[in-house]
Amino acid sequence: MPSSSNDLFQRAQQLMPGGVNSPVRAFRSVGGTPFFTKKARGATLTTVDDRELIDFVCTWGPAIHGHNNPVIRDAIAKALEKGTSFGTPNPYEIEMAELIVELVPSVEKVRMVNSGTEATMTAIRLARGYTGRDKIIKFAGCYHGHVDSLLIKAGSGALTLGNPDSAGIPDSFAQETIVLPFNDSQALEVAFQEFGDQLAAVILEPYPANVGLIMPKEGYLQSLRDLCSKHGSVLIFDEVMTGFRVSAGGVQQRDAITPDLTALGKIIGGGLPVGALGGKAEIMDFLAPLGPVYQAGTLSGNPLAMAAGIASLRMLQESDIYDRLEKMGQQVQDAVTTAAQETGLPIQVPQVASMFCIYFAEETVENLDDAIATDTDRFNKFFHTCLDNGVYLPPSKYEANFISTAHEQTAIDQACDVIVKAIHGL
């Protein structure tokens, strides 16, 4: 049986579109052949070619405790002894809901779903059902999963493939979605002046992390909150990435901005498929079976995913965990900033808690257009140099990097050394 990544990718391309089950994994943006992973532990991936890589992708966010964490693994094993799926309510769902309500400031009630995409899709449907309005605002570069009405000017894999507007979306769907540039307060004001009484919701990643990592300007999120309140529109934070990662309560806790609805995922599954939608009880009670907005899922609240997620969230309640993650993120930021100064290369390194991004650009990246304008060729060379020397960064300039609690100091030191040498080699 072929065991190399090259052999496996050749087989995969005969069986799956592009040889992958999620587009960015195909390395189309950075070039070359993707590697295949045979096992992972802590902060390290081991490829089928027996290469060990320090991992800053962390399964695209969920692995905040690293790979194959023993506490999460034991929680899954104990749940597995009782069954894989029941199709009935189970006690794990209650414990997970209690944790989310306790930790996330805006959430009074929660509905478990199976993915972040399903969470955002349900949030939009719920907002429309609650308000009786049709139009929504989203922001260019914010990716909210592959929902028809939201896959317009999206970030992440859509940009990586050079096709930000997916085929297969009817014009009538797109007409109900108003796309604005992120960080542009004037554009927000104009949109609300023109469409305020038609807007069911505004949805955004409060820290857009599917276009690299973009930080909101001071006061921007508060102005958005104020406009939604004034016009009766539902404010939806997509915290699938930032939830439980930038703080225990996400961006809304860190920046003290309270949305009406919040989409969650990734970390609350401990590495298993999961999503959740939570928010004000008044709005959440519009969901069936109490209300007229229908949503259902065969595997929603799956006991294995709930057990893994509960274990993940419990570990995040340790007192110093976010301080340690912040320090590691700042160490990477400092190393890259110093290397940029030494070489004179134009590099921006936005960083918050355990998330960071490396843009090859002169100025701070504030929106999608700025991100697109960053140096792709230089990033791709940098990516491959890091990978060749044992550090795995996301294979696209439009993706955020993640640090886990499993990244020990030696791994951060080693990775910083590789990254700095790669910058010097450009």
Closest CA to 52 of 393, 403, 381, 392: 392
In whole angstroms, what is the distance from residue 276 CA to residue 118 CA?
A: 8
In whole angstroms, what is the distance from residue 384 CA to residue 400 CA?
A: 16
> Is 359 known to be catalytic?
no
Q: Which residues contact 180 (CB under 8 A, 6 or more apart)?
A: 137, 138, 139, 140, 187, 188, 191
CA distances from 158 to 161, 166, 401, 420 (A): 5, 7, 18, 29
CB-based contact 117:360 (threshold 8 Å) = no
Could you give the 3-state DSSP secondary structure of residue 12?
helix
Q: Which residues contact 254 (CB under 8 A, 6 or more apart)?
A: 246, 247, 352
In whole angstroms, what is the distance from residue 58 CA to residue 325 CA?
A: 14
CB-based contact 37:48 (threshold 8 Å) = yes
**Which runs of E-coded beta strand occur in 172-239?**
177-180, 199-204, 234-238
> Is 417 known to be catalytic?
no
Which one from 55, 238, 260, 370 is the annotated catalytic residue?
238
In whole angstroms, what is the distance from residue 249 CA to residue 304 CA?
A: 23
**Which runs of E-coded beta strand occur in 140-220?**
177-180, 199-204
Query: Would you give the DSSP letter of residue 42?
Result: B
Which one from 92, 130, 143, 220 is the annotated catalytic residue?
143
Which one from 260, 266, 375, 392 is the annotated catalytic residue?
266
> Is 238 known to be catalytic?
yes
Catalytic residues: 143, 238, 266
